[in-house]
Structure 1
Amino acid sequence: MGPSKPRRLRELIARHLVMMPGAFNALTAIQIEGAGFEAVYISGAGLAAARGLPDIGLLSMTEVASDAGTIANAVSIPALVDADTGYGPPLAVMRAVREFEQRGLAAIQLEDQENPKKCGHLPGKRLVSTSEMAQKIGAAVEARRDPDFVIVARTDARAVEGLDASVRRAREYARAGADAVFPEALESAEEFRAFAQGLSKEGIKVPLVANMTEFGKTPYLTVREFEDLGYRIVLFPVTALRVATKAIETMLAEVKALGTQQGLLNRMHTRQQLYELLRYSDYEKRDKDLHERYGREEQD
């Protein structure tokens, strides 16, 4: 038996920059693993959208744990789950960490917004105090049963208090026990560099996380650029979701206009390709094997 998923995630981050596309359901996670990515991100925005809701903190911890656990257990690669603000005070954070660990997640991300939270790239965000967030991080560290389970602390301070404040907050979050820190909605490569350098000057050596979302405040940087700036994890949180919803919208418009899907066939997975993606034959073989080994004809 190999190392646990949390241990594998730590080993990956120690070796090189890790790209994490976001999965909004188990099938997307299977595709991410199949494409050769070494880890998967489970975005709160993606999970909310999959339930037809906006990303404003409407999902409960049990809903996120259920969905994230389904995703994490569909793949062999480690998964980082976005737990928003931790679903309440430090005691609620402790419960969330234990629940996510039990569900097979490798890492949890907590942010320093007040409830109700907002998308990190929208105006009007409000932050809890540095002390309150540090308490949540400390609670998360204390709650984990596996010391390798990764605690990521996200700060939204750049848009509210400025870049220097985001560095100060991240410093305190790392000192409280965060294994990695995540500055949200930085607005230039220079800001990413300044954030990394600011923490380095404070003696903070934890891995840094960059959010490469679309249509937000952050410019489009390549993973090579992020690596050169000192970052170890790059998230693509809702890229797959946006591409999928646009493709479905286009498909529906064409079917409605033409009354047939024939013109879309070359943009679909074939029946066989979808079966292969879902490992249909593996399940058939397993079922046959179980029947041969344990099946018994009923006797009259």
Structure 2
Amino acid sequence: LDNKKTGADAIFVEAPKSIEEMKKIGKSIKAPLVANMIEGGATPISSAETLYKMGFKIILYPLSVLFANTFATMNILYELKKTGTTAKFKQKVVNFDQFNDLVELEKFRKMEKKYGFSKRE
């Protein structure tokens, strides 16, 4: 398959089931290939470097962060239900100040002052 003939910018092969199948795809398709890494999905999880060497140029991990967040949410809620506290997680979560820095809260507060109504004045 040649993307120049089809007009496609990239080729997405749905759910290859093995590393061997992925290598075969990389050798037989002369186009930028998309690899879609979903934990627990049909395609074996590989590193971006390994996939690139097989011929995949666009490498996606579209659900990794969502799955990690879901796992963390389940764990902290289970602990809260079981013990009535989240103290055990103090070193496993960002603190209030870290979160505010991460979401750039101060930048938005300045914008709020400059462009809109704010009770913080």
Query: TM-score, normalising length from structure 2?
Result: 0.82
Instruction: In structure 1, give the amino acid aligned to 2:23.
Output: R
- Structure 2: which 5+ residue stretches go unaligned? 117-121
Alpha-carbon distance in 2 for matches of 1:261, 1:213: 30
Residue 230 of structure 1 deviates from its aligned partner by 1.1
2:7 aligns to what? 177
CA distance in 2, matches of 1:191, 1:212: 15
Task: State the match for 1:188 in structure 2.
Answer: 18
Classify 1:224/1:212 alpha carbon distance in 2 versus 1 (closer, same or farther; 3 Å): same
Aligned 8 A contact 2:10 2:33 in 1: yes
Amino acid at match of 1:184: E
Greater than 6 Å deviation, 4+ residue runs: none
Correspondence for 1:234: 59
Q: Tell me the number of residue pairs that the alignment of Structure 1 and Structure 2 aligns.
A: 116
Q: Report the Cα distance in structure 1 between the residues aligned to 2:4 and 2:20, rounded to whole angstroms.
A: 22
Note the 1:163-174 alignment, pairs <5 A. 171=1
3-state SS of 2:29 partner: helix
Query: Which of these residues, 82, 87, 92, is aligned with residue 267 of structure 1?
Result: 92
1:223 Cα deviation after fit: 1.3
What amino acid does structure 1 have at the position aligned with 2:25?
Answer: F
TM-score normalized with structure 1 length: 0.36
**Residue of structure 1 in register with 2:70 after alignment:** 245
Question: 1:211 maps to which residue?
Answer: 36
Superposed CA deviations along residues 142-186 of structure 1, whole A, max 9, x for unmatched, are xxxxxxxxxxxxxxxxxxxxxxxxxxxxx3876442211111211
Q: Map Cα deviations across residues 59-92 of structure 1 (whole Å, 9 max, x no partner).
A: xxxxxxxxxxxxxxxxxxxxxxxxxxxxxxxxxx
User: Highest CA radius of gyration, 1 or 2?
Assistant: 2
Q: Percent identity?
A: 31
Deviation at 1:226, TM superposition (A): 0.8
Q: Confirm or deny that 1:278 pairs with 2:108.
A: no
Deviation at 1:241, TM superposition (A): 1.4
What is the DSSP-based 3-state SS (H/G/I as helix, E as strand, rest coil) of the residue aligned with 1:257?
A: helix
1:110-149 paired onto structure 2 within 5 Å: none
How far off its partner does 1:220 sit? 2.4
**5+ residue gaps, structure 1:** 1-170, 201-205, 292-300
